[in-house]
């Protein structure tokens, strides 16, 4: 069965460290998205990609970067982790088109001390 996975599921890091969160999907979807979820804010879009070598900034992209070298993966990098980046991070993917369901991964809980 096709799926979308994230790793690690939990991560504790220190302020200033670089952190990379992995996202891997086997749906063969063109579109991939990274969100963060915080109490009172719902899901906020960080970065997204419509295909290999394509990346775009979302609503809250400062301090984050992504790269898309193949269809299956969209790693999210925190350049220099800050306590404000403590959050739950979700990766999602969808097929091309005006509307297509986004399939979400299980999330990564990141704590920055």
Partner 1 sequence: QKEVEQDPGPLSVPEGAIVSLNCTYSNSAFQYFMWYRQYSRKGPELLMYTYSSGNKEDGRFTAQVDKSSKYISLFIRDSQPSDSATYLCAMSAGSNTGKLIFGQGTTLQVKP
- Write out the residues near partner 1 by the rule CB under 8 A: 31, 33, 35, 40-45, 48, 50, 90, 92, 94-102, 104-107
**β-pair type (87-94, 31-38):** antiparallel
Name which of 53 and 80 has its Cβ closer to partner 1: 53
Neighbours of 61 (CB within 10 A): 17
Q: What is the DSSP letter of 26?
A: S
Name which of 75 and 109 has its Cβ closer to partner 1: 109
Name which of 85 and 94 has its Cβ closer to partner 1: 94
**Beta carbon of residue 82, minimum distance to partner 1 (angstroms, whole number):** 23
Distance CA 65, CA 80 (A): 11
What is the CA angle 103-71-94, rounded to 5?
Answer: 25
**Beta carbon of residue 16, minimum distance to partner 1 (angstroms, whole number):** 28
**Beta carbon of residue 64, minimum distance to partner 1 (angstroms, whole number):** 17
């Amino acid at each position: 069965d096709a799926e979308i996975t994230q790793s690690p599921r939990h991560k504790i890091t220190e302020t200033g460290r670089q952190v990379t969160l992995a996202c891997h999907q086997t749906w063969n979807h063109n579109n991939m998205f990274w969100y963060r979820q915080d109490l009172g804010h719902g899901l906020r879009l960080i970065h997204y990609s419509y295909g290999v070598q394509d990346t775009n900034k979302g609503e809250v992209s400062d301090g984050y970067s992504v790269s898309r070298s193949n269809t299956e993966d969209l790693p999210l990098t925190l350049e220099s982790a800050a306590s404000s980046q403590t959050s739950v991070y979700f990766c999602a993917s969808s097929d091309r088109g005006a509307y297509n369901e986004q399939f979400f991964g299980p999330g990564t809980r990141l704590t920055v001390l």
